[in-house]
Chain A
Amino acid sequence: MEIINSLRARNRRNTIVMVAMVIAVLVLGIGCLFVGSSNMTAADCWAALNKTGTPANVRIIWNIRIPRVLAAIIAGAGLGLSGLIMQTTLNNPMASPSTLGVSNAAVFGANLSIIAFAGGYLATGNNLSNYTTGANPYATGVMAFLFAAVSILMILSLCTLRAFSPNVVVLAGMALSSVWTAATTILQFYATDVGISAAVVWSFGDLGRATYRTDAIMAAVVLVGFGFFMIMSWQFNALLSGEATARTMGINVDLLRFVSMLLASLITAVCVSFLGVIGFVGIICPHVTKKLLGQDHRVTIPVSALSGSLLLLFADTLSRSMGGGSALPVGAITSLLGAPFFLTIIFSRKENRRC
């Protein structure tokens, strides 16, 4: 009974960590609504939140800032989550949400849409004003998603031939990623100045593209993934003991890998398609979580998701306040912020075998 009681104390500690992080996400999320490039005062923001401010301010808060903050919370959680799951299922600390080539495929799809169809010379010529009217953000997002999905299916079906050996998956992902990158380079070689700059700007990653609709789609996919991963947390724990041992414990390792990688990659595909490439969240958040709290997936799944939300919220707020009127690419900020913190954690004196 003593042992069970001491376990209860540990579970209580974990619950406190999670509740504290939820509160931090909420506080930071609400705080972010008051920061931006439009020179609104806190009072203006408050009034706009209550829908009593000027119509312009109300629009800024309700149509721009709230969807953006929601996007940071949802995409951050999704990327943190899928990074953790890819690392566990592939037994590889270097694995990331984009290991199956998802991001590169999405970038190619978006480039194809921007350069060759909607906003490029085929539709509008090399003319910036035409580009703006001709470009359809949904077309780009849909194309990005389609190619990301094709990439996922290609790798997963290829890997069924070799029973999902983690190394094969990682190498196949690298090979396919380089194919997408090469195709993108060729596409950009033939692009107009406007097309290429639009395509490059798209790939920066920008939470400002979020709308309520895109947030809802991302939230649905992230929630399904989160629910599934939480239910399977013991199976992921068993996977930590090695593939052979997990199998002898009765785990269907191949099926678990297939479904987990599919869901994790879909989450990434949806986020990247709507928001562009946001790097590093999927690597740093799971690692920091594991380093500080161990590898029990009942804890690391929610905490990786919450820390992803926190990092992206923080990075987005910085990017909006540092850009001098326009937001800096949030992907660059996550890496700039994350890398030093990550290095500090990796080289800290605390037990180093957890990564």
Chain B
Amino acid sequence: MLTCENLTFRYDRSGLPVLNGASLELKQGEIGILLGKNGSGKTTLFKNILGLNKPSGGAIRFDGENLLKMPRRERARRIAYVPQDIRFGALSVFDSILMGRVSYFGLKASPEDYTAVEKILRDMHLESYAQRNVDELSGGERQKIAIARAMAQEPRLMVFDEPTGNLDIANEQLIIEEAKKLAREKNISILSSLHDLNQAMYFGDKFFFLKNGVVKYAGGKEIITEEVIRDIFDIDVKITEIDNRKVILNGNLLAS
């Protein structure tokens, strides 16, 4: 469904390339996780896919269509974004989600848009929030509203930038579950960055390890090995199994 081929990107003409021939492929309904050190090019790759930056070379295709030439509203109906820094303005939860429909209605929301938002509120058990001001909600609740807003775009792909970056453990778990549930139920693909490798293994189907602007390793859980993590993050880890699930113990845990 989503194919990035040999993407290159540099912020300054004279500067070093941030993306240096990055390629990845994601199928419909798959959850892909982007992993890599800070500065490895994850955010830049997201920005290229979302149309916020234009790659200087390579191609991005969505179901065979050239994403770089797609009109912005068409693109918004296919790909939705849940940023790390979530902002809404002082709007009600209902209006904040309705905002996600703007690529459909343009200037004035129609009754169908209202019905669509109502359905999302019901599906995500957010009915009681409809009239509340988003600014009054907690971090986890705001994250959930941001996902609801992205759902209102009726996307086929959702891009998450560090979805759990500002959350406590309980909310982190909740948001991952929610996103995973939506992806499975609605057959929506997800491309997300995550720092926590264990969360990543639980969340994702496919993993892309970025180093120096290139996807160096790509594949299912089986590619996550101690050697790969050492190569990508320059740290020693131990991979073990608890209850038949792979668990990564990082350096600090190993030392203790």
- Bits for B78-96, please: 1 = Cβ < 8 Å to A, else 0: 0111010111111110111
- Bits for B52-75, please: 1 = Cβ < 8 Å to A, else 0: 100000000000000000001111
Q: Which residues does chain A contribute within 8 Å of B136, judged by CB atoms?
A: 351
- Bits for B20-63, please: 1 = Cβ < 8 Å to A, else 0: 00000000000000000000000000010011100000000000
11 further A-B pairs in the complex, CB-CB below 8 A; given A248-B52, A250-B73 = A6-B130, A7-B114, A234-B99, A237-B99, A240-B91, A244-B83, A245-B87, A247-B51, A248-B80, A250-B75, A294-B133
Q: Which residues does chain A contribute within 8 Å of B92, judged by CB atoms?
A: 10, 294, 296
- Bits for B91-106, please: 1 = Cβ < 8 Å to A, else 0: 1101110011011011
A241 on the B face (CB < 8 A): yes
Chain B, range 146-184, C-beta contacts under 8 Å to A: 149, 153
Q: Which residues does chain A contribute within 8 Å of B85, judged by CB atoms?
A: 242
B135 on the A face (CB < 8 A): yes
Within the complex, what minimum Cβ distance (angstroms) separates A244 from chain B? Answer: 6
A18 on the B face (CB < 8 A): no
Q: List the B residue with the shortest CB-CB distance to A251.
A: B102
> Contact: B52 with A244, CB < 8 Å?
yes
Complexed CA–CA distance, A232 and B108 (Å)? 9
- Bits for A229-268, please: 1 = Cβ < 8 Å to B, else 0: 0011011011011101101111110000000000000000
Within the complex, what minimum Cβ distance (angstroms) separates A80 from chain B? Answer: 18
> Contact: A294 with B105, CB < 8 Å?
no
B124 on the A face (CB < 8 A): no
23 A-B Cβ contacts within 8 A?
Answer: A1-B118, A3-B94, A10-B92, A231-B107, A234-B99, A234-B102, A234-B107, A237-B89, A238-B99, A238-B102, A240-B87, A241-B86, A242-B87, A244-B83, A247-B51, A248-B52, A248-B81, A249-B153, A250-B73, A250-B102, A250-B103, A351-B135, A354-B135
> Contact: B130 with A245, CB < 8 Å?
no
Complexed CA–CA distance, A290 and B89 (Å)? 10
Q: Which residues does chain B contribute within 8 Å of A3, judged by CB atoms?
A: 94, 118, 121, 127, 130
Partner of B76, one of A2, A10, A249: A249
> Contact: A295 with B118, CB < 8 Å?
no
> Contact: B90 with A294, CB < 8 Å?
yes
B138 on the A face (CB < 8 A): no
B109 on the A face (CB < 8 A): yes
Complexed CA–CA distance, A232 and B72 (Å)? 17
Complexed CA–CA distance, A241 and B87 (Å)? 5
Q: Which residues does chain A contribute within 8 Å of B86, judged by CB atoms?
A: 241
B131 on the A face (CB < 8 A): yes
Q: List the A residue with the shortest CB-CB distance to B153.
A: A249
Binding site for A on B (CB under 8 A): 47, 50-52, 72-77, 79-81, 83, 85-92, 94-96, 99-100, 102-103, 105-109, 114, 118, 121, 127, 130-131, 133, 135-136, 149, 153
Q: List the A residue with the shortest CB-CB distance to B76.
A: A250
Q: List the B residue with the shortest CB-CB distance to A253.
A: B72
Within the complex, what minimum Cβ distance (angstroms) separates A49 from chain B? Answer: 40
Within the complex, what minimum Cβ distance (angstroms) separates B114 from chain A? Answer: 6
8 closest Cβ pairs, A-B complex: A240-B89, A250-B76, A250-B103, A250-B73, A248-B81, A354-B90, A295-B89, A295-B90
A4 on the B face (CB < 8 A): yes
Chain A, range 2-46, C-beta contacts under 8 Å to B: 2-4, 6-7, 10
Complexed CA–CA distance, A142 and B71 (Å)? 42
A213 on the B face (CB < 8 A): no
Within the complex, what minimum Cβ distance (angstroms) separates B118 from chain A? Answer: 5
> Contact: B72 with A250, CB < 8 Å?
yes
Q: Which residues does chain B contribute within 8 Å of A241, judged by CB atoms?
A: 86-89, 96, 99, 149
> Contact: A247 with B52, CB < 8 Å?
yes
Within the complex, what minimum Cβ distance (angstroms) separates B116 from chain A? Answer: 12
Known: A234-B107, A241-B89, A295-B89. A248 touches B76 (CB 8 A): yes
Complexed CA–CA distance, A125 and B25 (Å)? 79
Within the complex, what minimum Cβ distance (angstroms) separates B93 from chain A? Answer: 10
Complexed CA–CA distance, A2 and B94 (Å)? 13
> Contact: B95 with A237, CB < 8 Å?
yes
Complexed CA–CA distance, A295 and B89 (Å)? 6
Q: Which residues does chain A contribute within 8 Å of B114, judged by CB atoms?
A: 4, 7
A162 on the B face (CB < 8 A): no
Q: Looking at A250, A351, A354, which has the most chain B CB atoms within 10 Å of its CB? A: A250
Q: Which residues does chain B contribute within 8 Å of A349, judged by CB atoms?
A: none
Q: Which residues does chain A contribute within 8 Å of B127, judged by CB atoms?
A: 2-3
Known: A3-B130, A294-B91, A295-B89. A234 touches B73 (CB 8 A): no
Complexed CA–CA distance, A353 and B136 (Å)? 9
Q: Which residues does chain B contribute within 8 Å of A249, judged by CB atoms?
A: 76, 99-100, 102-103, 153
Complexed CA–CA distance, A2 and B91 (Å)? 19
Complexed CA–CA distance, A252 and B76 (Å)? 12
> Contact: B90 with A248, CB < 8 Å?
no
Within the complex, what minimum Cβ distance (angstroms) separates B88 from chain A? Answer: 6
Q: Which residues does chain B contribute within 8 Å of A1, judged by CB atoms?
A: 118
Q: List the B residue with the shortest CB-CB distance to A1.
A: B118
Within the complex, what minimum Cβ distance (angstroms) separates A39 from chain B? Answer: 48
Q: Which residues does chain A contribute within 8 Å of B95, judged by CB atoms?
A: 237, 296
Partner of A245, one of B74, B81, B131: B81
Q: Which residues does chain B contribute within 8 Å of A6, judged by CB atoms?
A: 130-131
Q: Which residues does chain A contribute within 8 Å of B73, judged by CB atoms?
A: 250
Partner of B79, one of A240, A244, A248, A354: A248
Q: Which residues does chain B contribute within 8 Å of A7, judged by CB atoms?
A: 94, 114, 130-131
Q: Which residues does chain A contribute within 8 Å of B51, judged by CB atoms?
A: 247-248
Within the complex, what minimum Cβ distance (angstroms) separates B180 from chain A? Answer: 22
